Amino acid sequence: MPPKHGSAQGSASRGQSTISSFFSPRSSPAKQKSSLKRGVTTVIDLTSDGEGEDQRTPKRPRVSQTSPASPYFQQGSSKDTTADPEEWAFRQSQTQHADTEPRSAADEKARLARREAFKRKLLGENNLFVQRQRALDGHNLEDGEAGGAEEEHPGRESSGDESDNKLKELLSHFEMDSQKKKGNRSKGKPKARPKPKELGPMGEPWTDLERQVHELKAKHKDTILMIEVGYKYVFFGEDAKVASKELGIVCYPKGNFFRASIPVDRREVHLKKLLAQGHKVGIVDQTETAALKQASDTRNKLFSRNLSHLYTAATYVDDLDSVDDLERSSAPSLVSLVEERMGGMGTDERVGIGMVVICPSTGDVIWDNFEDSHMRIDLETRLSHTRPMEMLLPAGSLSEPTEKMLNHFVSPEGRKVRTERTKDTMPYSEAFNLVTSFYTENSNIVGASDSFKSGQLLATAMAFPKRVIIALAHAIKYLSDFQLAKVLIRTEFFDEFSKRTTMLLHGNTLTNLEIYRNETNYSVRGSLLSILDRTRTKFGSRMLRRWIGQPLVDLGLLQERFEAVEEIIGNQSPRLVALGELLKGLPDLAKGLSRIQYGYCTPKELAIVLRAFQKAALAFPSADATEPAQFRSKLLQDILTALPRLREPVQSVLSEVSLKIMEAGDKEGMWLDADKYPDIAEYAAAAQAAEAELTEELESIRKVLKKPSLSWTTVANEEYLVEIRKDENRNIPATWQLISSTKYCRRYRTPEVKTKMLHRQQYIEARQEAAKRAFKSFLQEIAQKYYGIFRDVVAKLATADCLLSLALVGLTHGYVRPEFTEDDTLEIVGGRHPVIEQLRDQPFIPNSICLGNLEARSKIITGPNMGGKSSCVKMIAVITIMAQIGSFVPASRARMGVVDGIYTRMGASDEIMKGRSTFMVEMTETSEILHSATPKSLVIADELGRGTSTFDGMAIAHAVLQHLVESVKCKTLFITHYPLVATEIEKQFPNFVQNLHMGFTEESRIDGSTDITFLYQLSPGLAEASFGIECARLANLPSKVLHVARQSAEKLRSQVEERTRINQ
């Protein structure tokens, strides 16, 4: 039972029982008497005052085994070797005597001081009781204060003093070990308090790795970081939440961050998924290997990590043979754009735009400088052609119409376009200095280029318009962060977007005619590109796409292209067959050259590229200047002449490496000349020497174990193990490390072997690093010396691929070569729509038309709904485009002058992202046509004016058509359901306008309805009706609705005829 507390009065009168009074040694009466006389009873007070002696609970006697007495507990003579339990038994009389001994004020003060000192010893300086007492007393009681209290009475012999001394001696025994561990700490020095650890955002102390991650994220706030940690890439914080959402992986809290991780070998798969969603992703790799770190001064510190790669969808250059590269005719691109306001407000606003479109994966760079109207039609056209994956835009300096247009392209169907904002538009002087310094600093990279030595490249860059210089400077600064600025070095390969030799198809024309993709599911199938693209290579497919989007307007270039296509079709030369076979199976050489230029190329990829160039170089013999030309076509002859020029550079490169070893990916052993990169051979020799030392060490181990037949064992990638069977009972040295064991054997590794293995691994890793540096230097050397030659040959092979593709199209049944004339005529006989003809099982009904010469330049086409009007005019436009890119056309005969532009106004749809209603879209496109069309243009307008009221629509249609006929004088195909407009315009301009209609037959039913049979044949004259109600019946509208509609139509028709008769 615990002792009960007495009253305050009792406590004051009796004092407290002390713990030493329970353990005074019991001896003979004589000894007890002697002890009482000497006053050696030890008194130790452990608790506060307030307990009386009568409230003590007698201690239960302890039974213990006899053991050697500790010197710290011995009493009496030193001769005693055992402790007598009776010596320490409980004695009631002694406790009473000790408690009733009177105390003076000085004794009481000394007793309290000793008690406080013991409490500090027992509980420590920082316990809760001491801290609370300090706060109350306002001062700190030091260890020396207890000693000072005792020194005030040096002559006093107190049993309490002796007890304190013995207790101090006892406690010092237990403190000896801890004092030894403290080492060089002095005796009287106070213990230094550890600094409090800084807590992270989740309340946990920062680890070294977390601090490193925090610093990396502070430097790259707008980037998702994939950080290499061991055998995984780990996402931290918000990056982990994004990765969990986009990649479908687990996100969990750990330490101060949320985390998500992926295996190292799955990095590229997950990286591409993040890039496809429009994210910027950084790869943070460990810059040290385990073996090299073990030999460094930082062996006991955290692995250093740095941002090694930075990617976006446009700046990611995929592997040469990647299975994810499914786009044959296009590659991801980045557009850098700047805008300059040129005055005007509202519809009169004009802006100047400079842009640079860069495709890092293929090395293509296109620039343009143009003025645009308030509807930004020209900007829309260029974005429709390039379809960038990323936009580099100045923040806050673009006009509202431009922002609306760009937002329309940010989230197109099935794609996510990333937008990167710069702080502001760079001033021209700053941009000029940046571009100048960039090309000056990179002069060594271009190296052997004669044009650069003569200053032509720099002069070309400086000759760009001011807005293009600013856009180029922004692109250089941005791509430098991705280590891709080298793509901008070769200005001789820059291409201007709009040239005088080509026609630029507007964005709505590309959409309405379905040039690059269909408008149903937005795939390539069902587009003109799918019909014409028979190319064998990806770089050829990309060139053909540019040909289709920019038809030629230069008659001389057009004739050269047709001559080449016709010669391929009609000539069965073995050289042409060899050229076709050469293109089969070629890799994407443009991408391969770009990867070489950036230093991304792997040995296997380099071997593929070099073999392809070697194949091209040896395909044809070198042309002798005295020999006659092999081909009539200048284009084909230039291709045939350019290929043999590859022999010398390819042979020069292959003389330094072994293709067979390079194909295996061996960077260390691919070099034929070991002296070119001596570091690789030196580290290889050092690694071999380390292996020889390991062999010698095996001899020593055999002698130790007295086992001459012992050999090294390798288990689970653990090399150089000594395997000992358990039943051999050999004496194993204590210094040997046990690596693994089984039921029958143990495997050891000696300290000497461990050291030599570490040295060997260090040499191997150093050799690998030296090989990486050598290979990167080799790639840079190839880019410096031969990039220009290789790039020119790739362009020639792409041209050959496009010509062969057009020749295959020309071999299609019913395709003919169009005839170009100097006059302004467009005549198509028996023309067919190439896409509809291929997709439909039923034959396409051909149509003929003639615009210009002796015929009317403008045709008004009427006819029933679903009668084929739109398909007919689209067929005419598509045949014109095919003819002007150098392709044969689906017709019996085609004769035409060069058209400088094709403009279309078709369909009805709003554009909410651009802030345009359906009718506004219609009027905007019409306005652009009226401002852009020339007498050599072809204009197609389908049902103009239908987006508003009948009379307003008729008035607009009449006025627009009159302007095109009277003022612009272009070739026009005008589809309308307004018969009054058609008749009036024909009467007004009988020599320039002709009415045509799509043929049909009709048959009346008993119920008053009419059966329509569409003939899809273009015929002279005006259609009597549009038969919209019959089209509604085909759409399965209810009969009751159709009956009411028929009655209303008859009533309205009668009213119109009556008013017309009256007005006449």
Q: What is the pLDDT of residue 917?
A: 77
Q: Indicate whether 174 pLDDT > 70.
A: no
pLDDT per residue over 681-691, tens digit each?
A: 999 999 999 99
| Structural domain includes residue 558 | no
Q: Which residue has the tokens 């201690």?
A: 59
Q: Please give the tally of structural domains in the chain.
A: 6
Residues ≥6 apart with Cβ < 8 Å to 511: 384, 519
Of 498, 515, 531, the one marking the end of a domain is: 498
Q: What is the pLDDT of residue 326?
A: 80
Q: Are residues 955 and 907 in the same domain?
A: yes
Mean pLDDT computed over 910-916: 58
Q: What is the pLDDT of residue 292?
A: 63
pLDDT per residue over 917-942, tens digit each?
A: 788 888 888 988 998 899 999 999 99
Minimum mean pLDDT among 180-194, 324-338, 495-509, 854-868: which range? 180-194
Q: Are residues 840 and 940 in the same domain?
A: yes
Q: Token pair of 260, please?
A: 């998500």
Q: How far apart are CA 933 and CA 971, in angstroms?
A: 10
Q: Are residues 417 and 351 in the same domain?
A: yes
Mean pLDDT computed over 547-557: 94
Q: What secondary structure does DSSP assign to 656-708, as a single string?
A: TB-HHHHHTT-TTT-BS-TTTSHHHHHHHHHHHHHHHHHHHHHHHHHHHHT-T
Q: How far apart are CA 222 and CA 448, in angstroms?
A: 39
Instruction: Work out the percent of the chain whose per-residue pLDDT is above 90.
Output: 53
What does the DSSP 8-state code read for residue 938? Answer: E
Q: Indicate whether 1037 pLDDT > 90.
A: no
Q: What is the pLDDT of residue 202?
A: 84
Q: What is the pLDDT of residue 93?
A: 45
Angle, helix 751-810 to helix 647-654, in steps of 10 degrees: 160
Of 498, 523, 541, the one marking the end of a domain is: 498
| Structural domain includes residue 696 | yes
Q: Round to the nearest angstrom and report the end-to-end CA distance of the chain.
A: 130
Mean pLDDT computed over 287-299: 68
Query: Collapsing DSSP states into helix, strand and coil, what is residue 262?
Result: strand
Q: Which residue has the tokens 């053909």?
A: 544
Minimum mean pLDDT among 446-455, 597-606, 722-731, 1005-1014: which range? 446-455
pLDDT per residue over 643-682, tens digit each?
A: 999 999 999 999 999 999 999 999 999 999 888 899 999 9
pLDDT per residue over 1026-1035, tens digit each?
A: 778 878 887 8
Q: Are residues 935 and 1004 in the same domain?
A: yes
Q: Are residues 879 and 1011 in the same domain?
A: yes
Q: Which residue has the tokens 């000349």?
A: 673
- What range defines the domain where residue 742 resides? 678-770
How many other C-beta atoms lie within 10 A of the C-beta of residue 238? 13
Query: What value does the mean pLDDT of the chain take?
Result: 82
Mean pLDDT computed over 363-371: 94
Q: How far apart are CA 70 and CA 81, in angstroms?
A: 9
CATH of the domain at 744: 1.10.1420.10
Q: Are residues 269 and 215 in the same domain?
A: yes
Nearest alpha-carbon partner for 605 in 486, 782, 735, 801: 782
Q: Are residues 988 and 898 in the same domain?
A: yes
Give the model's confidence band at 101: pLDDT under 50 very low, under 70 low, under 90 confident, else very high.
Answer: low
Beta strand pairing status for 224-229 and 232-236? antiparallel
Q: What is the pLDDT of residue 2?
A: 46
AA identity, residue 1057: E
Q: Are 840 and 888 a contacting pair, CB within 8 Å?
A: no
Q: Are residues 490 and 346 in the same domain?
A: yes
Strands, sheet with 737-741, edge to edge from the N-terminal-most edge strand: 713-715, 718-725, 745-749, 737-741
Give the model's confidence band at 873: pLDDT under 50 very low, under 70 low, under 90 confident, else very high.
Answer: very high
Mean pLDDT computed over 428-447: 83
| Structural domain includes residue 789 | no
Q: Rounded to 5 degrees, what angle do the CA atoms 128, 133, 134 make? A: 100
CA distances from 725 to 333, 476, 742 (A): 65, 67, 9
Q: Token pair of 394, please?
A: 């100045």
Q: What is the pLDDT of residue 481?
A: 92
* pTM higher than 0.85: no
Give the model's confidence band at 572: pLDDT under 50 very low, under 70 low, under 90 confident, else very high.
Answer: confident
Q: What is the pLDDT of residue 112?
A: 78
What does the DSSP 8-state code read for residue 371? Answer: E
| Structural domain includes residue 672 | no
pLDDT per residue over 119-169, tens digit each?
A: 665 555 445 444 545 544 444 433 333 333 333 343 444 444 555 565 556
Q: What is the pLDDT of residue 1064?
A: 61
Q: Are residues 35 and 168 in the same domain?
A: yes
Q: Indicate whether 170 pLDDT > 60.
A: no
Q: Are residues 901 and 986 in the same domain?
A: yes
| Structural domain includes residue 986 | yes
| Structural domain includes residue 153 | yes
Give the model's confidence band at 915: pLDDT under 50 very low, under 70 low, under 90 confident, else very high.
Answer: low
Q: Are 846 and 832 a contacting pair, CB within 8 Å?
A: yes
| Structural domain includes residue 190 | no
Q: How far apart are CA 683 and CA 768, in angstroms?
A: 9
Q: Are residues 741 and 754 in the same domain?
A: yes
How many other C-beta atoms lie within 10 A of the C-beta of residue 285? 16
CATH of the domain at 360: 3.30.420.110
Q: How far apart are CA 454 and CA 158, in angstroms?
A: 107
pLDDT per residue over 795-816, tens digit each?
A: 999 999 999 999 999 998 889 9
Q: How far apart are CA 200 and CA 208, in angstroms?
A: 12
- Between 116 and 217, whose confidence is greater? 217
Q: Token pair of 1058, please?
A: 């009556």
CATH of the domain at 987: 3.40.50.300
Q: What is the pLDDT of residue 165?
A: 61
Q: Indicate whether 82 pLDDT > 80.
A: no
| Structural domain includes residue 900 | yes
Q: How far apart are CA 85 and CA 64, in angstroms?
A: 8
Q: 351: part of which helix (H) or strand (E)?
A: strand 351-359
Q: What is the pLDDT of residue 551?
A: 95
Q: How far apart are CA 708 and CA 508, in angstroms?
A: 87
CATH of the domain at 289: 3.40.1170.10
pLDDT per residue over 597-629, tens digit each?
A: 999 999 999 999 999 999 999 998 887 666 777
Burial of 446 (0-12, 13-18, 19+ CB in 10 A): buried
Q: Are residues 1032 and 996 in the same domain?
A: no
Q: How far apart are CA 347 and CA 656, in angstroms?
A: 65
Nearest alpha-carbon partner for 341 in 327, 326, 351: 351
Instruction: Work out the percent of the chain whose per-residue pLDDT is above 70.
Output: 78
Q: What is the pLDDT of residue 80?
A: 44
